[in-house]
Amino acid sequence: MATPVKMPRLGESVAEGTVANWLKKEGDWVERDESLAEIITDKINAELPSPVAGRLTKILVKADETVPVGVDIALIEENADVTASPPAEAAPGPDAAPVETPNQATIPVIEQRTVAPAGGNGASAVPQQARPERIGEEERQRISPLARRLAREHDIDLNAIAGTGIGGRVRRDDILAYIAARSQREPVTAAAAVTQAAAPARPAPPTPPPPAVPSAPSMKPEPAPAAPPAPTVAGEDEEVVTPSRMRLAIAEHMVRSKRTSPHATTVVEVDMTNIAKWLEKHKDEFKKREGYGISFVPFVMKAVCEGIRQVPLMNSSWTEDNKIIIKKRINLGIAVATDLGLVVPTIHDADQYTIAGLAKQVAAVAQRARANKLTIQDMQGSTFVVNNPGTFGTIISVPIINQPHAGILSMDAVVKRPVVIEDDAIAVRSMMYLCLSFDHRILDGAGAASFLQAVRTKLQSYGREIDVY
């Protein structure tokens, strides 16, 4: 009996994943928990451990293909004895996996379903349209009967909804909130559709016929994804780039954040001279001793924890039913630039660490991020984000909130500037701007300013000797 390997659910709201790479070939022997493949979702990249030990007899989903969560992507023969197994000779590489099995034919080509069509995706996809929807719904086990009915009546794709019940179950209130949110959105999409229709200037290729769901003449307004924009065509001196999934995820999040939270930004200037001097003196020795580096970042994180302690609203979320949830744990997201784009892994309970401890955590998540080894844990539960564009030399930034947080803090470059100090003397000091974007629904300028004051006071409280442990 072959054991199927299924596309895992990497995160509660994730409905599908892409096989980035097969790390094993057909015919290879794998141990239990040995990595089989790299999986990419819009939330996280992860290696897929083998559920059993055995021989990988069949790869069902090729590299770069995307399938819904729960779909079989490979078969492993547990009892495959070595001699009886298919010859490994000319074992097909990951790209050559056979596509003929009936199962396979039903695997949708995702780019079509969630991600906006990047280009006419071949006619072969059309007849497959009916199935993926069903797989998606069956897969989504945790739905109350009422929620299921409401979703059907309101034409809602349940995979688009994050459940708030136990185990992520979708319940009545989730659907109602979604409907309310959608009805606010709807005029916008409708308007967009109109503009499109009224702009026939583009040499749009014949729009592919709508998916072959039998109800062709339905006049019902379809949910948003049903009105795809006309495909972009590169003009002269132009090049069309198809964004990566990560880029698309970031784009979606940024638009949603700006639409969700009324951003206000406020800036304070912090004298980092003592910290700068300490770093200058101890940085190399610290790294040699500890095996990881230290920078301004852990100092700022420490100070942010202090600020949150004084202004707990900074560590909260505005909910869809117009409540504010104050988070008791301080889990700081830290923005890390990687080759693929920006990721924001979480340092849980950041307030429980010393400065050195924070430096260690930052080094660890940054390393995992760059090596593409972030875990689901890393990507969940952050309550506030610290961003450090200063490493790129910027002096003032206006960050966009990482939803559903109340704020995000940007630390910009620490630069030496002549500053007027006590007794009107002028001195050269290491100065830094801290820019806080905050959700104006949750708090006002006064609250934001007192948070920044607390952060600044903490950062300026260090003397020449600093105990980072």
Partner 1 sequence: MSEVTYLEAISQAIREEMRRDEAVFLLGEDVGTYGGAFKVSAGFLEEFGPERVIDTPMSEAAIIGSAVGAALMGMRPIAEMQFIDFIASGFDQIINMASKMYWRSGMPVPMVVRGPSGGGTKGGPFHSASPEAWFFHTPGIKVVVPATAYDAKGLLKAAIRDNNPVLYLEHKLLYRMPELREELPAEDYVVPIGKAVVRREGQDMTILTYGAMVHQSLKAAQTLEEEDDLEVEVLDLRSLAPLDREAILESVKRTNKVLIVHEDTLTGGIGAELAAILSEDLFEYLDGPITRVAAPDAPFPYAPPLEAAYLPDEEKILTAARKLAAY
Residues engaged in binding partner 1 (CB under 8 A) = 144-149, 165-166, 169, 171-172
Nearer to partner 1, 166 or 216 (CB): 166
Provide the minimum distance between the beta carbon of 163 and partner 1 in the complex, in angstroms, as a whole number: 10
Instruction: Supply the DSSP symbol for 193.
Output: H
Nearer to partner 1, 146 or 181 (CB): 146
Strands 263-271 and 426-439: antiparallel
Provide the minimum distance between the beta carbon of 182 and partner 1 in the complex, in angstroms, as a whole number: 20
Provide the minimum distance between the beta carbon of 146 and partner 1 in the complex, in angstroms, as a whole number: 4
**Residue tagged active-site, from 81, 378, 444, 467:** 444
Provide the minimum distance between the beta carbon of 171 and partner 1 in the complex, in angstroms, as a whole number: 5
Q: What is 207-237 written as a DSSP string?
A: PPPPP--S-TT--SPPPGGGSPPPPP---TT
Nearer to partner 1, 171 or 360 (CB): 171
User: Cα(199)–Cα(209) distance, rounded to whole angstroms?
Assistant: 19
Provide the minimum distance between the beta carbon of 152 and partner 1 in the complex, in angstroms, as a whole number: 9
**Residue tagged active-site, from 154, 282, 348, 440:** 440
Provide the minimum distance between the beta carbon of 166 and partner 1 in the complex, in angstroms, as a whole number: 5
Q: For residue 404, is the peptide bond before it cis, meaning its omega torsion is within 30 degrees of 0?
A: yes
Nearer to partner 1, 290 or 320 (CB): 320
Is 405 considered catalytic here? no
Q: Could you tell me the two tokens for 239?
A: 């090049």
The C-alpha angle with vertex 106 and arms to 103 and 111, in degrees rounded to 5, equals 130
Exposed/middle/buried for residue 29 (C-beta within 10 Å: 0-12, 13-18, 19+): middle
Nearer to partner 1, 166 or 234 (CB): 166
Render the burial of 198-224: b for 16+ CB within 10 Å, e for the rest: eeeeeeeeeebeeeeeeeeeeeeeeee
Is 444 considered catalytic here? yes
Q: Confirm if 295 and 279 have CB atoms less than 8 A apart.
A: yes
3-state secondary structure 123-163: HHHHHHCHHHHHHHHHHCCCECHHHHHHHHHCCCCHHHCCC
Residue 166, helix vs strand vs coil: helix
Distances (CA, A) of 40 to 21, 63, 237, 297, 412: 9, 10, 33, 29, 32
Nearer to partner 1, 144 or 265 (CB): 144
User: Could you tell me if residue 384 is left (phi over 0), alpha (psi between -120 and 50 degrees) or otherwise beta?
Assistant: beta
User: Cα(229)–Cα(234) distance, rounded to whole angstroms?
Assistant: 15
Catalytic residues: 440, 444
